[in-house]
Structure 1
Amino acid sequence: MYKILVINPGATSTKLSLFEDEKEVISESIEHSVSEIENCKTIMDQLPFRKKCVEDFLKRYNISINELDAIAARGGILPPMKSGTYQVNEDMVNYLKTKTRVEHASNLAAVIAFELSKNSSKGLPVFITDPISVDEFIPEARISGIPQLERHSLFHALNMKIVARFAAKELNKEYEKCNFVIAHLGGGISVGAQRKGLMIDVNNATDEGPFSSQRTGELPMGDLAKWIFKNMHSYSKNDVKSTFVGKGGLFAYLKTASLKDALKLAEKDEYAKLIVEAMAYQVSKEIGGMAAILGGDLDAIILTGGMAHSDYFVELIKRRIDKLGVVMVYPGAYEMEGLALGALRALEQLEDTKIWEGENIL
């Protein structure tokens, strides 16, 4: 039996779990105070108190670092890389500390885990699995419409990849032989075409695809350009960014980022109902496009993420796409399982563990 510690930092919390093989036996989500977060100028300034949270967790449950067989850490904002499980090394840690292009809490995970592993007497391995920067695009997926702007692969890789593995197992098929359209329905919405284990195309949930709870998704480019030039002296760069990511989507229309609250409004308000249905409409349209990329050769369409908990919202999507293929629903996020199972596959040598080779690894 393998014991695996899982570390998954979020913006204001740190999720921790202990897995014994595939079973999660201990789980906590530790909330951090606003003052703790705001007193840190950079993400890496949070390292001391985040690391102490993990050490306290181990003490609380009387877990020795020497009992562990591996630490599974959430992958940070790394350069484009193939999916899979990577062993964390000094070069990766240094990149996350000093070179990553985006300040994000996930950058802390591998750094914390690597530092903890040094206290082990047996050379404790540290792994990351399917970070957000997974890039498996086919060449034509990179073309945007003008050569100055290339499309980039950024999506909810960890959750989408693990639910694809769940679906393949449920279908009694090999993961690497399946074709899926996968829609992660959360604060951002990622819809991707996965062919034989590779996500060959996916919308960037920050600025492409359907609108979500707080993000605008794709916008009419001509009108967008006019709006930006008209308001460029009234808005700061951060104001403009927050209009599209943070204050867009459901929030812009209904002043709530909660699908649950939006659905309550929709029960008595036709406008709210229209907005909810429009979001489902756009998700369905994106799924149809990804199905076309796969030539209609689908093993299943997978719906996952927090909004997949809503049977009503799922049905709004299914009624438009169910003729495209089998629809499988995995509500919520399975990040902790994805990390633990990635490390377990590495420990059991069920797949080749990848080695970090620096910034140009594709």
Structure 2
Amino acid sequence: MAYKIFTLSPGSTSTKLAVFDGEELIFKANVTHDPEKLKTFARVNEQLPYRVETIMEELKKAGIDIKDMDAFAAYSGGLESTPGGIFPVNDKIIEDCTSGRLMEHPAILGAQIIRKFADEVSKPAYLVNPPDVDEFEAVARLTGIKGIYRESHVHVLNQKEVAMRAAKELGKKYEETNLIVCHVGGGLSITAQKHGKIVDGNDVLNGDGPMAPNRSGYVPLMPVVKMCYSGKYTLQQMKEKISKTGGLISLLGTDDMRIIDKKIEEGDKWASLVFDNFAYQLGKYIGSYACVLNGQVDAIVMTGGCSKDEMFIEKVKEHTGWIAPMIVYGGDFEMEALASGAVRALNGEEELKEYTGVPVWSGFDFEPETI
């Protein structure tokens, strides 16, 4: 039996919608929201009725009735750290999302919108591998500064979706594989996935990892500290250097791989060097994550928009081909991941998990307070 699944992902000024018949996409839309209207809401949660109204208008235009859906699934954040998996939307999820105590971003609306729709038609609502998933091993959490710890901030939903696809392609269960997965879009996340868990990964939110199209990645700390105290930059400007205007944008003025490829074809030596370094940095990190997996790597999995660039993929292969074969899934598959998760839940293929609001990690209880 093919189930009809409604999927949703709220963004800053738009909401992505898709409907699947089983895992086949039959409708998709990106509902844009009037920026001026959004400015009238003091808090993100106040946007809920407006977003629901615009979503329902879009569905009505397409002739789609939520009564025909078998389940609802959403991208939704604002939760305490959780293990990976599929979570039926319960009261605790709604409580944490509506409070906004952990996040003030439209992502907190995802669970609330699908819960509303699901309740109206008495069907289940699920979160699938939410962005708050944290499965790091204890040894991966420490840094060289006491009190600063590493937590999981990666593209969890797409990361796990392509990992599952790769496992299937390899003829194995996801829980039987060791994979290095690289999501290379505007941001870049790289993870070591061991037996179905993301045991280590770069911190996308806080400037960790290799350079990305619009993020700096790791840079030597002392020059950054000096910039912070130079008096030339505000806190916001420094944050933007790291998370919005770093990487390829900082070095080449663009993060469009098509433009960069054209510059290289025209003989631009600087563009060529930056491009090579982009692949080189990623290759170095892939090598380090091979160490996390003790060299036992079934495949390197590439995904995200930049993974559609053949020249980039070939350059990364030059650095990493000795580690494991590469499997490429260009683009992102977040809506497909939501649908496939809902289908697994309805078919009983994956055990559902309960969100309790208790973080999976909140520090080491055996760490001495003073040294």
Q: TM-score range by the shorter chain?
A: over 0.9
SS in 1 for 2:120: coil
Cα distance change on mapping 1:279 and 1:197 into 2, 3 Å: same
Cα displacement (A) at 1:7: 0.7
Q: State how far apart, in whole Å, the 2-side matches of 1:280 and 1:97 are.
A: 41
Task: Choose which of 250, 253, 274 in structure 2 pairs with 1:252.
Answer: 250
Distance 1:226 1:48 in 2: 46
How far is the alpha carbon of 1:265 from its aligned partner?
2.3
Q: CA 1:92–1:330 in 2, change beyond 3 Å: closer, same or farther?
A: same
Determine the structure 2 residue equivalent to 1:152.
151
CA offset digits 1:289-328 (Å, max 9, x no partner): 0011101111100000010010011111011101111100
Deviation of the 1:350 alpha carbon: 0.7
CA distance in structure 2 between the partners assigned to 1:49 and 1:278 by the alignment:
45
| TM-score between the two structures when normalised by the length of structure 1 | 0.95
Kept in 2, the 8 Å contact 1:131–1:158? The answer is yes
Residues 115-134 of structure 1 aligned to structure 2 (within 5 Å): 115-120=116-121, 123-134=122-133
The unaligned stretches of length 5 or more in structure 1 are none
Which residue pairs with 1:222 in the alignment?
Answer: 222
Provide closer, same or farther for how the CA distance between residues 269 and 39 of structure 1 changes in structure 2, counting only shifts above 3 A.
Answer: farther
CA contact (8 A) 1:6 1:72 kept: yes
| Paired residue type of 1:276 | F
Closer, same or farther: CA 77–279 of 1 in aligned 2, 3 Å: farther
Q: Distance in 2 between matches of 1:345 and 1:62?
A: 27
Distance between the aligned counterparts of 1:81 and 1:64, measured in 2? 32
* Structure 2 match to 1:28: 29
Percent identity for Structure 1 against Structure 2: 35
User: Please, which moves more after superposition, 23-32 or 156-165?
Assistant: 23-32
Please give the per-residue CA displacement for 1:219-239, whole angstroms capped at 9, x wherever unaligned.
1012221221223xx322212
Alpha-carbon distance in 1 for matches of 2:125, 2:192: 30
Cα distance in 2 between the residues matched to 1:248 and 1:194? 27
| Structure 1 residue identity aligned to 2:222 | G
| Displacement of 1:40 | 3.5
Mapped to 1, the partners of 2:295 and 2:34 lie a distance apart of 48
Q: How many residues align?
A: 358
User: What CA distance in whole angstroms lies between the structure 1 residues aligned with 2:13 and 2:244?
Assistant: 16
Distance 1:138 1:359 in 2: 18
For 2:106 and 2:123, the matched residues in 1 are separated by 23
* 1:3-14 → structure 2 map (5 Å cutoff): 3-14=4-15
Q: Structure 2: where are the runs of 5+ without partners?
A: 362-371
* Distance apart, 1:34 and its partner CA: 3.2
- The one-character-per-residue Cα deviations of 1:232-261 (angstroms, maximum 9, x if unpaired) are xx3222122112111111111111122222
Task: Name the residue aligned to 1:328.
Answer: 327
Counterpart of 1:220 in structure 2: which amino acid?
P
- 1:264 alignment partner in structure 2: 262
Q: CA deviation at 1:353?
A: 0.8
Code of the aligned partner of 2:182 = A
| Residue matched to 1:178 | 177
SS of the aligned residue for 1:355 comes to coil
* Match of residue 65 from structure 1: 66
Tell me by how many angstroms 1:102 deviates. 2.8
- 1:68-79 to structure 2, matched below 5 A, reads 68-79=69-80
**Matched residue, 1:53:** 54
Distance in 2 (CA, whole Å) between partners of 1:270 and 1:12 is 38
Change (3 A) 1:43 1:260: farther
What letter corresponds to residue 261 of structure 2 in structure 1? L
1:157-236 aligned at under 5 Å gives the runs: 157-206=156-205, 207-231=207-231, 234-236=232-234
Amino acid of the structure 1 residue aligned with 2:319: R
> After superposition, what is the alpha-carbon deviation per residue over 1:7-29, rounded to whole angstroms, capped at 9, x for unaligned?
11222321111111111111112
Task: Verify the 8 A CA contact 2:227 2:233 in the aligned structure 1.
Answer: no
Q: d(CA) in 2 for partners of 1:175 and 1:181?
A: 13
AA at the equivalent of 2:212: S
1:63 maps to amino acid: I
Q: Do the aligned residues in 2 keep the contact of 1:133 with 1:155 (CA within 8 Å)?
A: no
Residue by residue over 1:23-65, the C-alpha shift from the partner in whole angstroms, topping out at 9 and shown as x without a partner, is 1111112223332344434322322222123212332333333
1:103 equivalent to 2:104? Answer yes
What letter is aligned with 1:301? Answer: I
1:263-282 paired onto structure 2 within 5 Å = 263-267=261-265, 268-282=267-281
Please name the residue that 1:18 is paired with. Answer: 19
Query: Structure 1 CA distance, aligned partners of 2:184 and 2:128?
Result: 21
Task: Look up the match of 1:242.
Answer: 240
Q: Distance in 2 between matches of 1:61 and 1:29?
A: 13
Q: Is 1:85 paired with 2:86?
A: yes
SS of the aligned residue for 1:119 comes to helix
2:229 match: secondary structure: helix
Letter of the 1:208 counterpart:
D
Structure 2 contact 31–58 (Cα < 8 Å) conserved = no
- RMSD, aligned α-carbons: 1.5
Q: How much does 1:361 deviate?
A: 4.8
Could you list the runs of 4 or more consecutive aligned residues of structure 1 that deviate by over 6 angstroms after TM superposition? none
Q: SS state of the match for residue 279, structure 2?
A: helix
